[in-house]
Amino acid sequence: MRIISGKYKSRRFDVPKSFKARPTTDFAKENLFNVIGNLIDLEDIVALDLFSGTGSISFELLSRGCKEVICIEKDAAHYTFIKKVKAELKADNLYPLKTDVFKYLESGLQTFDFIFADPPYALKNLSLIPELVLSKALLNPEGIFVMEHPKEYDFSQLPGFIQKRVYGAVNFSIFRKKD
């Protein structure tokens, strides 16, 4: 796993081969952050990373100046890895939580400027995630939600959908909350 840009640029972390998580490829991540950078200023925002896996997106967000990132990961080994990298980077503004994403979303305790979700592609309830995020008032006004998903899914009919980006086998649907 490599951090592409920002204060932690070029830092690499070896992800254990036993991990089930498939980190977003560098190519897809770099292109996605170019798109996001044209939609929202990442500096000093509060972000949420759902299904964090290796924490790759969380660390990229922090590196690019996010004020605070909360990352949600249920798998114990992945959660431990995220905490290890957090300690190595001395990233005190990263708040990893070991919990189920759906339970966290139901709590709706906080709002965010940016939300990213990269669920396991085989997740049974994957199709429900965008509606759940968008209906829970989790996004601040003008906030951005990005959902990584397999090509079989089309979320273009949902409210707030603004674009879909495809980078190889990686698909991103992007939503913006309007007042």
Q: Is residue 54 part of a domain?
A: yes
- Is the model's pLDDT at 91 over the cut of 90? yes
Mean pLDDT of 60-74: 96
DSSP SS3 for 162: strand
114 contacts 49 by C-beta, under 8 angstroms: no
Mean pLDDT of 147-164: 94
Query: Is residue 179 very low, low, confident or very high in pLDDT (cuts 50, 70, 90)?
Result: low
Per-residue pLDDT tens for 129-152?
Answer: 999 999 888 999 999 999 999 999
- CA nearest neighbour of 35 among 144, 169, 153: 144
Q: Is residue 12 part of a domain?
A: no
Per-residue pLDDT tens for 99-120?
Answer: 999 999 988 779 999 999 999 9
- Is the model's pLDDT at 128 over the cut of 70? yes
What is the model's pLDDT at position 168? 86
Mean pLDDT of 48-76: 96
Residue ranges of alpha helices (H) inside the chain are 26-39, 56-63, 76-89, 101-107, 129-135
- Is the model's pLDDT at 166 over the cut of 70? yes
- CA nearest neighbour of 167 among 44, 23, 25, 22: 25
What is the model's pLDDT at position 40? 94
Q: What are phi and psi of 144, to 5 degrees?
A: -115, 135
How far apart CA 25 and CA 56 sit, in angstroms, is: 10
- Is the model's pLDDT at 9 over the cut of 70? yes
Q: Is residue 17 part of a domain?
A: no
What is the number of structural domains in the chain? 1
What is the model's pLDDT at position 136? 86
Domain encompassing residue 113: 26-176
The helices-and-strands tally (H runs, E runs) of the chain is 5, 7
CATH value at residue 74: 3.40.50.150
Per-residue pLDDT tens for 15-58?
Answer: 888 887 667 788 889 999 999 999 999 999 999 999 999 999 99
Q: Is residue 13 part of a domain?
A: no
Residue whose pair of structure tokens reads 């290890």 in the numeric block: 84
What is the model's pLDDT at position 1? 86
How far apart CA 118 and CA 149 sit, in angstroms, is: 7
